[in-house]
Amino acid sequence: MAVDVSPGIRASAARLINELESSGAPYRWCQPENLHVTLNFLGDVLEQEVPQICRLVEQACRDLTSFPLEVGQLDCLPNWEKPRTIWLQVTEGADRLADLNDRIATCLEEMRFPRDRHDYQPHMTLGRIQRGGHRNQSLLDRCRQFQSHVAGGCLVGQVIVYSSFLDRAGPSYTPMSRIDLS
């Protein structure tokens, strides 16, 4: 499950990815058309489970209204010294996304999907270190240079249930359901 971001946020993040990519660091960078803010990640699910998952997400979104979202503040996981994942934080709307994440997780417990054991941190992933990659000072310098980057804002009016498929070219996403917020 995810919320989409505006074309303006995607374009701003794409420019930032280009800047970071030019460091030559061994990262797999996200394609701009795939940028989104993940709510809940379920992993592998059976095809026959998808309709029930979509119904439960719709149930979780019932009575929720649209809200503003702003994406900015470059950060790294697990930390700046060993950045495995580079992402932009959600700086406005994070509380609403956390509530939405929790509501969806609660509804999905009916299907015995376990809750994520980590605290939910709303963000938009830009890139992940490739297997065997190592710390790259040039990338860290660029990350610090763009640490206060603001990609922009938009209105969240929909939750999307995606099916994702990972191959050598990277992930591809197919919307399985779109749930409008009031």
Calculate the CA 5 to chain-centre distance.
10
Q: Which domains does the chain have, with CATH numbers?
A: 2-180 (3.90.1140.10)
Calculate the CA 9 to chain-centre distance.
13
33 token code pair: 């058309």
pTM listed for this prediction: 0.89
Rounded percentage of the chain residues whose pLDDT exceeds 70: 96
Convert the pLDDT of each residue in 121-155 to its tens digit.
999 999 988 766 666 788 888 888 888 989 999 99
Convert the pLDDT of each residue in 83-124 to its tens digit.
889 999 999 999 999 999 999 999 998 888 877 778 899 999
Classify residue 33 by its DSSP letter: G
